[in-house]
A and B are shown apart, each in its own frame.
Chain A
Amino acid sequence: MATIGAKVSEIARGIHQIFLPLPMRPSIVNVYLVDCSGDWALIDTGTNGQESLSALEGALGQLGITFDRLGAIIMTHHHIDHCGASAELQRLSGARLYIHALELDRITRTIAFAGSAGPTAQAREFFLRHGFPVDRYGAQALRPTWLDPRLYQPSVRPDHLMADGDIIPVGKRRFEVIWTPGHAPGHCVLYLSEEKVMIVGDHLLPKITPHVGLYPGSVANPLGDFIASLEKVQQFDVALVAPAHGGVFHDHRHRARQLIEHHRYREAEMLDLIRKRPMNAYEVAQQIFGSQERPTFHILAATFETLAHLEYARLEGRARAYERAGQVVYQCS
């Protein structure tokens, strides 16, 4: 494999942030390579694209190691930029692979979706019930162009299924697993208590808010889970936050509170609309996120992030839902 120059930055003693290219926005994912004194751990993998794998190999080369020095590969969640290359890296390194049990199920579903011609009949019915005019957009347009099966080659045979509170020992370091569902049902962040470093995947991003959507097969209340996970990480003593997109930062509590306030505001905007008249999730999303021309996948994501908000409000008693002409509409009194 030809290596290319990679951007590597030591963010704390022996903890290296590596920028890997992505075929979509955000255009870079940070993975973390941790020197565990004799053994190395890799947190997240990037995609299975040649450019990304070469950049990763180049980064290892800059640190004077090769893939076979990896003892553990720990994945925060199942998305393409976080575990797309895990099968190939498992083969190259022989490292132990770790992922949360709920993410293994999502991997299987995402592989099926990436290789499918369009949504299943069940998914189609779900979209229509929430007002999303699936036939107007076309089945193929629902799949993001970057969800290329060649870039998404995650291992379906991890060595360990992680659970909240697990300690993963690698060399002299101990990674504590903190289950932070929301962005993905089995999303986990990794906490190094001695170093007070938290590797947060997509849970706490410094400049953007992670997508939290309610889709066919989702858990009942992903946004409620996400907000509970934002409260949860504030219990930990953290000096440095290492995100998957954007630069490292220090005050995890400040950013967690900011994200909670952002979602409170979004909900207030939505409740204001459905106080005036009942609407389905698609109608609310068109008002909140705008109805201008955008890639279909963005419209889909906006609709089902809106649905996550509306369901969160309904489950907490701030809105109610009922059927109208085969669709689910939400209302706030």
Chain B
Amino acid sequence: MVEKTIELIGVSANSIEDAVQLAISRAAVTLNGIHTAQIANVAATVENSRVVNWRVTVRLTFIVKEQLHE
């Protein structure tokens, strides 16, 4: 079995958890079988001394499927 990892940045106006979920939801549009999300970094966008966005870098891992037949 081979697995693959991609790195995405989820951006949420609300929370770190929501940013992670958005990254997973976007990846799931084109990828099946994502089984792990590892948080690599958390940052916040700050405007006028307030957090306006959470930017969470996530590494998503999925199994590379064998496709011998269409």
Q: Do A275 and B70 form a contact, CB below 8 Å, given A258-B29, A258-B30, A265-B28?
A: no
Chain B contact residues: over half helix, strand or loop, or mixed?
helix
Please determine whether B70 and A269 come into contact, CB atoms closer than 8 angstroms.
no
Chain A residues whose C-beta falls within 8 Å of the C-beta of B29 in the assembled complex:
258, 261-262, 265
Residue on A nearest B70 in the bound complex, by CB: A250
Q: Is A264 an interface residue (CB 8 A)?
A: yes
Q: Is B61 an interface residue (CB 8 A)?
A: no
Residues from 217 to 272 in A contacting B, C-beta threshold 8 Å: 250-251, 258, 261-262, 264-265, 268-269, 272
Q: Is A13 an interface residue (CB 8 A)?
A: no
Chain B residues whose C-beta falls within 8 Å of the C-beta of A264 in the assembled complex:
25, 28
Q: Is B38 an interface residue (CB 8 A)?
A: no
Q: Do A268 and B22 form a contact, CB below 8 Å, given A250-B70, A258-B30, A262-B29?
A: yes
Please determine whether A275 and B28 come into contact, CB atoms closer than 8 angstroms.
no
Q: Do A276 and B14 form a contact, CB below 8 Å, given A250-B70, A268-B21, A269-B22?
A: yes
- The listed residue with most B CB atoms (<10 A of its CB), out of A251, A258, A262, A265, is A265
Q: Is A273 an interface residue (CB 8 A)?
A: yes
Distance from B58 Cβ to chain A, minimum over Cβ atoms (Å): 14
Q: Is B64 an interface residue (CB 8 A)?
A: no
Q: How far is the CA of A272 from the CA of B20 in the complex (A)?
A: 12
Residues from 22 to 65 in B contacting A, C-beta threshold 8 Å: 22, 25-26, 28-30
Interface digits, A122-163 against B, CB 8 Å rule (1 contact, 0 not)? 000000000000000000000000000000000000000000
The count of chain A contact residues (Cβ–Cβ below 8 Å) is: 13
Distance from A281 Cβ to chain B, minimum over Cβ atoms (Å): 17
Please determine whether A275 and B14 come into contact, CB atoms closer than 8 angstroms.
yes
Q: How far is the CA of A261 from the CA of B33 in the complex (A)?
A: 13
Distance from B16 Cβ to chain A, minimum over Cβ atoms (Å): 12
Please determine whether B28 and A272 come into contact, CB atoms closer than 8 angstroms.
no
Chain B residues whose C-beta falls within 8 Å of the C-beta of A261 in the assembled complex:
25, 28-29
Residues from 1 to 32 in B contacting A, C-beta threshold 8 Å: 12-14, 18, 21-22, 25-26, 28-30
* B interface, CB within 8 angstroms of A: 12-14, 18, 21-22, 25-26, 28-30, 70
Beyond the given pairs A250-B70, A265-B22, 8 more chain A to chain B contacts, judged by CB atoms under 8 angstroms and listed by A's residue number, are: A251-B70, A261-B25, A262-B29, A264-B25, A265-B26, A269-B22, A273-B13, A276-B13
Subset of 16 A-B contacts with CB under 8 Å: A258-B30, A261-B25, A261-B29, A262-B29, A264-B25, A264-B28, A265-B22, A265-B25, A265-B28, A265-B29, A268-B25, A269-B22, A272-B12, A272-B14, A275-B13, A276-B14
